[in-house]
Structure 1
Amino acid sequence: MTKFIFVTGGVLSSLGKGIAAASIGAILESMGYTVSLQKFDPYLNVDPGTMSPYQHGEVYVTDDGAETDLDLGHYERFTSSHSTKDHNQTAGKIYNSVLTKERKGVYLGKTVQVIPHVTDEIKLSIKKVVDGVDISICEIGGTVGDIESLPFLEAIRQFGLEHDPQDVLYIHLTYVPYIKTAGELKSKPTQHSVKQLREIGIQPSIILARTERPLPQSIKDKIALFCNVRHECVVEARDVENIYFVPLMFAEQGLDQLVCRHLGLKKCKPNLKKWYELKEKIENPKDIVKIGIVGKYTEYKDSYKSLIEALHHAGFINRLDVQLEWIDSSMFEKDESKLKILDEVDGVLVPGGFGSRGIEGMIKAIGYARENKIPFFGICLGMQLTCVEFARNVAGLVDANSTEFDEEPPYKIIYKLRELVGVEELGGNMRLGSYPCEIQTKDSFVYKAYKKEVIHERHRHRYEFNMEFRPILEEKGLRFTGISPDGKFVEVVEIKDHPWFLGCQFHPEFKSKPLTSHPLFRDFVKASYENRKKRGSKK
């Protein structure tokens, strides 16, 4: 019988419900339980796929091709849970399902209402992902008090009534601010947040109090008294130096025992040895390495959430402190002399993205890394621009381009997926989810990283390499080391006479974890550090 944990948030957004839920999952897994993590978002978009990175941050892609909330990335990084399209539900998706059923006559002519039809749909979604799972953790997006999240809160209230009390646990993450002028931590926002939750009919059993400073026992006792929870059930969620310390912080306060007691769990001895070993690596790096990220969303870091984490994971395994230098590519378009800034970093990475802004600057940065033997990693758009740069500046195909930026360039090095496979419908013009890739030679950076001949990685893009140009680019030295099994798609390109130069069409960052760094990021960071040591006297 699956048990359920519902994580809600109060006072304000961005408190870290996703990391809290993922950390609870990590602790439960260390006890030997199987966990599933699910996110409910209150916005009316069906998914975040069409939302601006400035609005929503990164779009996280699952193996089955779902475009989901970035919190699913935390779930998969902290635990071994496998996310699918059903693990991220939005209000838009829920209402769309209800209205589709209504049009089909499923409700037999009844008046369709939020209660029971929308709430029933939410409850069905909760149960859809629990087969073979010991504990399902459901995060409710938004903040208690928002009108958008009310149907979800009502649904989980009903869920608690319909199940045994020992099978359902409500955990509320709230905020305890420090008022500098008064020199005091204030519990009133937490009291009001829990009051709103209780008015809905939900009594949290555990309160996670997000705070910048240690909570004195007097504040914990006050929160417990006014929020109707046992005093030991007020758990401090203090700011930590690294998000991967959160499971340890919770366990050291006995959160694992509180969860076990409420849910009647028998296996209650967490084994967090690997997490403590990770903490030791993070706190004791042998050196630093500087990675320059040349992109277009550099002012909003959540756009590259998985990428950032993957680079740090690579630092952990190499015992290095990865320092990121954010470089807006558009600066190179105005002044090429600024490319010299790339000499100050140890490796250059050009990530994925959409749109034409800053593209020429990225191409110049790629060329500079190629010519000056700076370790380079191009991901998705970065790989496409690698091919364009090589075509222009090595193969002599002047004005070569992608049809994303020039509809009729002289040489269409990159073009739309639908031009390649004949798909015209808007919904079919992206390659989403996990696809296989065959590594062409063992004498390649990609094989040395994976040690496999066939790999599977996640994609999110609508433009592909034009195979017509493979012979001429290959003749000039661009290596096509990863190809789809059917031979239609280029997945990996490399330059051999270089310390480390690789572009991949897929997004390897989606499969990196803190305890098991992704092999491409691991080797890129290692090569960047070798470059740092080699040029040490110049830095």
Structure 2
Amino acid sequence: MTKFIFVTGGVLSSLGKGITSASIATILKQSGFKVSMLKIDPYLNVDPGTMSPLEHGEVFVTADGAETDLDLGNYERFIDTTLTAKNSFTTGQVYQSVIRRERKGGYLGKTIQVIPHVVDEIKDRIYAAADDKDFLIVELGGTVGDIEGLPFMEAIRAMRHELPKTNIMNIHVSLVPYVKAAGELKTKPTQHSVQELRRIGITPHMLVCRTEKPLPKNLKDKLAFSCDIERNAVIEADDAQSIYQVPLHFIKEGILTPLSEHFCIKLKPNMEKWDTLVKNILIPQDEVTIAFVGKYLDLKESYKSLIEALIHAGAHLNTKINIHWCDSQRIEDEGAYEVIGNSDGILVAGGFGPRGVDGKLAAIKYARENKIPFLGICLGMQLAIVEYARNVLGIENANSVEFDPETKEPVIYLIDEFIDQSGNKQVRTKKSPMGGTMRLGEYPFEPLKGSNLQKAYGKEEVYYERHRHRYEANPAYKEKLENAGMIISGQSNGLIEAVEIKDHPWFVGVQFHPEFTSHLETPNPIILEFVKQANAAN
């Protein structure tokens, strides 16, 4: 029977519930257990796909095409696995399912209520996510006391009565603030947060205390006594240099004991490889500077997976990745050299909309002409084609229909039909209520033999990567591009997946998002190779 760990948060948001959840999952997995994770978001949006990056940060895409919270990316990166749509759901999805069932007569004419109907839908989704795993770690978004989170709290409370005591554990992540003027750590916010949990009917079995200062023994004792928790189950979680240190910190804090005692299991995690990679992140032998060209730089959470993918590559190469943040709009105003300078590699990230596009084009031209290792992702690849068409082929009006719907030279266009993994041309990708159509999820691609793409990925003939985009490279320009020296190095059922340049040491653009499949223990091949090339050019 699956054992469930529910992780809630108190006092305020952004305490690191996701990292806490992923760290505990890592410890369990490295101890030999089959582990999965689930993120519950109490907001009413069906998914974060229509949210602005400035509102919600990055939208993480699963292999089966679900647009999810960025925490799912952390889950995959920590436990080195592939999650699906069932590993994430929102209040919007829950109510949508309940109402849809009611419209079909599924409730046999009964009055639909939060209890039991909405709560039962939540429980069903939690149990479905457990599958055949030994453990399911469930993170509840938001903060205890939020009105939108109450149905989920009730579901957690109800499950306590449906499962053996040794099969369910509640962990509460809370803040122990340091009041500088008084020179003291204060426990009262955590006490009040736990009181609110207990009022709802949930008693936490463990406290994870976020703090800027070490927690003295007497303060841990006070928290244990006032919150009715075992003394060894008060775990200190201070700020770490790297999020990948957190599982190691938890082990040093003694988290194995309360987990083992509660679940009646033996935990002996093998963290040797993990520890080596973390040391490579903290004390690397080499360093390299990557110019990261984007337009959401005021909120770097918009590029969370890509930042982490660079860290993964650095950990395996024992190299520190210095990210030189380059605002594409600033490049438009000041020029590529002034902003990018002498960076060892240039990375042009994805994005939507016309803002900052000219700056990205200038950065791509700078990388091409100065033979600097270059990686373009999604929009970065599309703009590499636009730049090449304009400045090498001499097609001055070459453009994407995303930026100019009336362009006479649509080197990037919006096709009406995508081909799915099975080759079925009739299957259309997700249609959003906003009218946009996305190519979402995992699709196969075939690398060209002898290309930089093929050398990075290895000897297999077909690979799979994830997508999130509306526009595609127009195959009508394929022959012209190839005749002028651009290599179409990756294709997927006739669609252009990757491009390179013949007379350049290492210039690669990919339509997919390689960062979504990069994990600490298994970095993405093309990002790893990009960092290698940048380091070699250093």
Please classify the TM superposition score into its range, dividing by the shorter chain length. over 0.9
Distance 1:4 1:476 in 2: 58
Superposition deviation, residue 10 in structure 1: 0.4
Superposition deviation, residue 258 in structure 1: 1.2
Are positions 1:509 and 2:507 aligned together?
Answer: no
The residue number in structure 2 matching 1:56 is 56
Distance 2:111 2:294 in 1: 50
Superposition deviation, residue 82 in structure 1: 2.5
Distance 1:217 1:420 in 2: 60
Residues 194-227 of structure 1, C-alpha deviations (whole Å, 9 max, x = no match): 0100000000000000111111111111111111
Change (3 A) 1:274 1:430: same
SS at match of 1:162: coil
The residue number in structure 1 matching 2:376 is 378
Q: 2:527 aligns with which of 521, 527, 532?
A: 521
Superposition deviation, residue 178 in structure 1: 0.6
Kept in 2: contact 1:221–1:231 (CA 8 A): yes
The residue number in structure 1 matching 2:185 is 185
SS at match of 2:307: helix
Q: 2:454 aligns with which of 438, 441, 447?
A: 447
Q: Any residues of structure 2 matched to 1:436-475 within 5 Å, and which?
A: 436-441=444-449, 443-451=450-458, 452-475=460-483
The residue number in structure 1 matching 2:209 is 209
The residue number in structure 2 matching 1:324 is 323
CA RMSD of aligned residues (A): 1.4
Kept in 1: contact 2:278–2:315 (CA 8 A): no
The residue number in structure 2 matching 1:340 is 338
Question: Which one-letter code corresponds to 2:454 in the other structure?
Answer: Y
Kept in 1: contact 2:174–2:209 (CA 8 A): yes
Superposition deviation, residue 470 in structure 1: 0.3
Superposition deviation, residue 130 in structure 1: 1.6
Question: Which one-letter code corresponds to 1:332 in the other structure?
Answer: I
- Structure 2, unaligned runs of 5 or more: 420-425
Superposition deviation, residue 156 in structure 1: 0.5
Are positions 1:477 and 2:485 aligned together?
Answer: yes
Superposition deviation, residue 343 in structure 1: 2.7
Distance 2:278 2:329 in 1: 37
The residue number in structure 2 matching 1:295 is 294
Change (3 A) 1:490 1:86: same
SS at match of 1:6: strand
Aligned residues between the structures: 527
Distance 2:210 2:221 in 1: 15
Distance 2:149 2:286 in 1: 46
Question: Which one-letter code corresponds to 1:324 in the other structure?
Answer: I
Are positions 1:284 and 2:297 aligned together?
Answer: no
Q: Any residues of structure 2 matched to 1:239-250 within 5 Å, and which?
A: 239-250=239-250
Change (3 A) 1:93 1:130: same
Change (3 A) 1:309 1:460: same
Question: Which one-letter code corresponds to 1:299 in the other structure?
Answer: D
Distance 1:470 1:279 in 2: 43
Kept in 2: contact 1:41–1:140 (CA 8 A): yes
Distance 2:93 2:418 in 1: 31
Runs of 4+ in structure 1 over 3 Å off: 419-428
SS at match of 2:273: helix
Distance 2:392 2:282 in 1: 44
Distance 2:286 2:90 in 1: 43
Distance 2:390 2:308 in 1: 33
Distance 1:164 1:437 in 2: 47
Kept in 1: contact 2:241–2:282 (CA 8 A): no
**Is 271-280 or 417-426 further displaced after alignment?**
417-426
- Structure 1, unaligned runs of 5 or more: 533-539
Superposition deviation, residue 420 in structure 1: 7.1
Are positions 1:197 and 2:230 aligned together?
Answer: no
Kept in 1: contact 2:418–2:439 (CA 8 A): no
The residue number in structure 1 matching 2:347 is 349
Residues 321-371 of structure 1, C-alpha deviations (whole Å, 9 max, x = no match): 1011111111222333x5333233111111111011011111111011100
Q: Any residues of structure 2 matched to 1:27-38 within 5 Å, and which?
A: 27-38=27-38
Distance 1:105 1:339 in 2: 65
What is the TM-score with the length of structure 1 in the denominator?
A: 0.96
Distance 1:216 1:499 in 2: 56
Question: Which one-letter code corresponds to 1:361 in the other structure?
Answer: G
Q: Any residues of structure 2 matched to 1:101-140 within 5 Å, and which?
A: 101-140=101-140
Fraction of identical pairs, as percent: 54
SS at match of 1:254: coil
SS at match of 2:129: coil
Change (3 A) 1:495 1:292: same
Question: Which one-letter code corresponds to 2:371 in the other structure?
Answer: K
